[in-house]
Structure 1
Amino acid sequence: MPPVASNHPSAPRPPAIERGDGIGRIVMKVASVDSTNRRLVELGRAGAAHGTILVARDQTAGRGKGERGWFSTPDGSLCMSVLVKTRRTLIEAAQLTLLAAVAVREAVFAETGVDAGIKWPNDLLVDGRKICGILAEASCDDCGDLDFVVVGIGLNLSVPDDGFPDILRERAVSLSTLSGRPVDRDAFVATFGSVFDRWVTLWERHGLSAFAGTWTAHALQLGSVVRLTDGDEDVCATLIGLAADGALRIRDAAGAVRDVHSGEIGAAPAADRIASQLPKTHMGAFS
């Protein structure tokens, strides 16, 4: 979860809908924006409240993990960011990516009946095809202490299979395709806000233990051998689960157990192929 510099000018506030309490109490909507994360960081520094959600029909410069580009369409994608203020530390706040995945998965199931799996660290997949990606960014004050976190969520709502670029067509899919019916954008945002608010409240009280069991129950590839890119290192390892701080615990080919805080998971190499020849799996909404 990369920290964001604190020198952006304040931005005008888009129209907002206010209801209830907690996450989703304030929902701001814009037709198009360069990046919902970037815009909500600016609004947060201008005083936007905890739980504010910014929704855009489209993004012109959306980004994912490692500053990769992000594909969206005005009618088929949900581009959404949530501002979270927490008493947890900057290190603990990195767990919000995992927590958001749990909440999005629950909201997806509630709204569509689609049962997605969680791919560490920031994706939701169904049958190997990506429906959602998550990108959390921390904003710190002038003293370097955590001010707030913005959690960006990119979800494929109703992009038809032939609406994806060729490179994504076999690796991404929409909820409407999976469920066989349209997905109401506003209803999904409302459901997600309620679900995420409940999980964040539990996390504030109990830390990682509040959601680790649920995350593990829906995590993909646990117990499997995968290729893991950790910085400049490629290793084949067995995924064990979450460590106490939210890192991914792995067992490498030599049997050593260690924790990984960032990286990417790809398919394990076949016996006659070397890991460096395999493409990384980073296709879909956010990557």
Structure 2
Amino acid sequence: CPSTSRCITRRRSCWRRRCRTAAAPTPRYSQASFFSALSPGDVLQAFIVLSLTVGVLTANMLLILVINSRRYSKYIHSQPRYLLTSLASNDFAMGLFVTPFAIVPSLRHCWPYGELVCQIQALLRGAISQQSAVILICMAMDRYLCMLHPARYHKHSSKKGCVAIISMTWIMSMTLFSILVLPRGGYYFNPTGMVACEPFYSRASIRILAACGFYFPTTMILMYCYGSAFHVNKLRLRNAGGNTNGGGSTEASMEKKNEAERGNKAKLTAKAEVELVNDGVNGPE
């Protein structure tokens, strides 16, 4: 077969087709009945996929509407709000363009929509997942700068810059997976898991490199940014507690000092009164 991924897709297609060879120059098709050989497990899997699709669409649409409403938008800074909206939009797109197409394949264990739809779905699935990972990194760096460098953060942060970063990450993700998926048919239908089409990496080295590029930087940056922010916040709370305790002891010592001064003044007043009485008694006859 000239393309391994296309052979995999054709073997998993509901309209089964052999690859062109010299013996069989024309593709052979055999139509399979849709409702034949359905098992309770297949129906349960399709119901789970449908429930997951409805849940993903509903939850992310609700999140987008709530954080951008007039009532709650004033409590969230513009940069985190835009990043959360972008992340929820990615999940909404995943629930709109990926998971609904897995209902029929979960029943038939094959791909009924054709190679073009499989190619587009593989492109969207890879690009959306990569862009979500980049948005998570941007959110971690946003919180890191806000916690550790608040003055610089509020000075240089802007809405236009945040929108530009989100747009640039989208363009980069779509360009990267377009290069991987579109020209050489780098996609295949995976009948397990999400029951959807995925990017296909012909060599193991590319597969390992893609996995390292997707998981390793995201995990390390998230751990460093959130760990540093947590450590700094913990130190600030500890220092604030120490200052509160120190302020209480200072107030107590000042109160004791004032009481001592009032006592000394009372003693001096009593002594002066005694002296005046003595002067009156021992005055000139």
**TM-score bin, normalised by smaller chain:** under 0.3
**TM-score, scaled to structure 1:** 0.25
Question: Greater helix share, 1 or 2?
Answer: 2
**TM-score, scaled to structure 2:** 0.25
Question: Greater strand share, 1 or 2?
Answer: 1
| Structure whose alpha-carbon radius of gyration is higher | 2
